[in-house]
Amino acid sequence: MPTETSSAIVIREATFVDFDSIWPFFEAIARAGETYAYARDIDKASAFSLWLEQPRTTFVAEIEGRIVGSYYIKTNNHGPGSHVCNCGYMVADEARGRGVAREMCLHSQTHARQLGYRAMQFNFVASSNVAAVALWSKLGFATAGVLPLAFEHPVLGFVDAFVMYKPLV
């Protein structure tokens, strides 16, 4: 069931058909190589698998009926770690600064609790992604670890990557 947020952002579960609308901003973000550790030359089929087939569930964010963002949620580890989930978020360039990532993150936490997860972990946040680090921190995520020089930024070179964590209970 779609959830309408206060800023006219509607978040709903994604369908496979939605990937045609996700792919343009997924491709742009992957090609830039500044925030995700995906191959910069990732093809559409591989991206589809990563974003829609492998996760437990994927959502899209819409403004005025147009898909402007997407996130997935998946179990971070199996067995004794299966109570911790992982999410990835992407927002189209034209929708940045409109609260889309914030709304998706809040939505993902609510949904994660409904799925029985007790915590959320972001495994590899590039330290150079200042906006994301600030937002996740503002939303209660703590930096649980620093992976020194683990992310190769195309302009800045090697930068740290953060593991960020938030209990959901």
The verdict on residue 39 lying in a domain is: yes
Count of domains observed in the chain: 1
C-alpha 27 chain-centroid distance = 14
Residue 146 lies in a domain: no
What are the per-10-residue average pLDDT scores of the chain (169 residues)?
A: 68 98 98 97 98 98 97 97 98 96 98 98 98 98 98 98 98
- 62 in any annotated domain: yes
Residue 129: inside a domain:
no
135, part of any domain: no
Confirm if 53 and 62 have CB atoms less than 8 A apart.
Answer: no
pTM: 0.93
CB 86 within 8 A of CB 123: yes
Residue 127 lies in a domain: no
Structural domain of 84? 3-121
Domain with residue 19: its CATH number is 3.40.630.30
Q: Which residues of 13-28 are buried (b: 16+ CB within 10 A; e: fewer)?
A: ebeeebbebbeebbbe
Classify residue 90: in a domain, yes or no: yes
